[in-house]
Amino acid sequence: MVTPLSDDRSRAESFGSDPERYDRWRPSYPPALIEWLSDGVRKPGTAVDVGTGTGKVAALLRGAGWNVIGVEPDERMAEFARRRGIRVDGAKFEEWTPSVRDVDLVCSGQAWHWVDRAAGQVKAAEVLRSGGRLAVFWNAYSYEPTVAAVIADVYGRLAPRLLNDAVALGRHTQANATGDLSALEVSSQFHQIDARSFEHSRHQTVGEWLDELRTHSLHHHLQQPLTDAIFAALEDALYAATSGTLTAHYKTVVTTAFRV
């Protein structure tokens, strides 16, 4: 039986080992997404950012005029977010004792898969006002053909199972978004379910891309010698196949619903 990601706490909390690296290299989210979430909301709106991590989403919302409360189970990540001025409650979202009620937005960027989906929806409904919105979103990656070919070759030889649905490798199947839609469609607590996407991109050196790749949890259960071999092979092959830079294309896939 496959362990749900929400139950794999060692993997879920692996990011806190180096929050500075995570915050520096992980991609952000497009301004159009924040504008869309803010459109028509009373000002200032109150948002709960689930799995706030280092506060990347929370900082964007705060910059758009929101009052933001983060919820984060990893104290190392939570402390990083607090240092940038984000209010953070330390807890798993499913077990959180809400410090706010009747909020306008419960959101989660790149973190909802670490939450038990059913329990998370119940908790979101508990804290949202009637008409408030739940929004969960992910950055799906894609690359130019030369870069995609290198990724497929290296992982195909050294760790083929990681190609099944690895977001950072451009192999995302949107299974998370599909599951979120299905769960919300049968919920009696939410309606007006919507899904849309926002595209953006980022140019990186090969070294920067590898630094970001190290912040993802897909290698978490591998032995260190294999991880080292993967990164060495990627570095050699990418420098041979590119001019030393690459472009990561992102599609931020968003699922939203409103509290009944």
List pLDDT tens digits, range 73-115: 999 999 999 999 999 999 999 999 999 999 999 999 999 999 9
Sign of the CA dihedral with 187 first, then 190, 195, and 197 last: negative
Q: How many residues does the chain have?
A: 260
Per-residue pLDDT at 14 exceeds 90: no
d(CA 100, CA 123): 12
The CATH T-level fold of domain 5-259 is Rossmann fold (3.40.50)
| Average confidence (pLDDT) over 163-186 | 81
Band of pLDDT at residue 2, cut at 50, 70 and 90: very low
- CB atoms near residue 159 (< 10 Å): 17
Max CA-CA distance within the chain?
A: 55
Torsion of CA 217, 220, 225, 229, to 10 degrees: -20
d(CA 51, CA 70): 7
Per-residue pLDDT at 181 exceeds 80: yes
d(CA 256, CA 116): 17
- The reported pLDDT for the residue numbered 179 is 80
What average pLDDT is seen over the chain? 92
| Average confidence (pLDDT) over 185-213 | 95
Query: What token pair was written down for 210?
Result: 């590898």
Band of pLDDT at residue 41, cut at 50, 70 and 90: confident
Band of pLDDT at residue 15, cut at 50, 70 and 90: low
Q: Where are the beta strands (DSSP E) in the chain?
A: 46-50, 67-71, 87-89, 103-109, 128-143, 190-205, 245-259
**In which element (H, E) is residue 21 found?**
helix 19-25
Neighbouring residues of 58: CB distance < 8 A, sequence distance ≥ 6: 47, 49, 52, 68, 70, 81, 86
| Average confidence (pLDDT) over 42-61 | 95
C-alpha separations of 233 from 9, 21, 80, 106, 169 in Å: 29, 22, 32, 41, 14
DSSP 227: H
Neighbouring residues of 243: CB distance < 8 A, sequence distance ≥ 6: none
Domains of the chain, residue spans: 5-259
- CB atoms near residue 246 (< 10 Å): 20
CB 46 within 8 A of CB 129: no
- The reported pLDDT for the residue numbered 1 is 46
Per-residue pLDDT at 253 exceeds 60: yes
pTM: 0.91
Query: What token pair was written down for 51?
Result: 């799995």
